Chains A and B, each alone.
Chain A
């Protein structure tokens, strides 16, 4: 079974530039998550999709972050414009359901904003 795929693995940009991350979840997983993990911390949820609908984006900084999940499969997360404090690892995860199911994580994208 193929795992969760993410790209790119690393990205370095200057502040005020834009960046996009891509995620392909495990086939058949209805739920997709994007997390932000700052060094030394646990992952913090940014947005949760159920199929192609958003079910929780309460912690997404909507003035600069946006995400979509086309056709209920792949997803992209965009930051525009980036700030220094956006430097973090962005993790994508998928699961069969919600909070009572295990989540499968991709390798993450390490973003450095200079």
Chain B
């Protein structure tokens, strides 16, 4: 089965700066998802980007997908202290009978006020 690997493992920035996180995966996929997890909480879905899309926006979030490099990036612009969280990319697992998602280990983002 494949797995998305996020990079960096941890990122610390000042409020107002941009934060970029990357995800690499191993085999062809038809979509990739990004999730956020605040400390002690469940995961929250941010964006799903399909293989025929190169870029997608949602508010201050911008996600890109490069299928030739098997990588995706999540950009948070004008970060806020409330963006402090762990961010996970998730890729479809085509090995199972119905398929589910495989999550990476995440990037831990700290935004300092």
Contacts and interface: CB of A to CB of B under 8 A. Distances in A.
Interface of A: 4, 31, 33, 40-45, 48, 50, 55-56, 58, 91, 93, 98-100, 102-108, 110
Contacts of B113: none
A100 B45 contact: no
Contacts, number: 66
A114 to B, nearest CB: 20
A42 B104 contact: yes
A98 B43 CA distance: 17
Given A33-B100, A45-B102, 15 more contacts: A4-B42, A42-B103, A43-B88, A43-B103, A48-B98, A58-B96, A98-B98, A98-B100, A99-B98, A99-B100, A100-B92, A103-B101, A104-B45, A107-B42, A108-B41
Given A40-B105, A42-B88, A99 B99 contact: yes
Contacts of B45: 102-104
Contact of A106 (B42, B94, B99): B42
A60 to B, nearest CB: 12
Interface residues of B, number: 26
Interface of B: 30-31, 33, 35, 40-45, 48, 88, 92-94, 96-106
A58 B93 CA distance: 12
Contacts of A107: 41-42
Contact of B42 (A48, A50, A105): A105
A105 B43 CA distance: 6
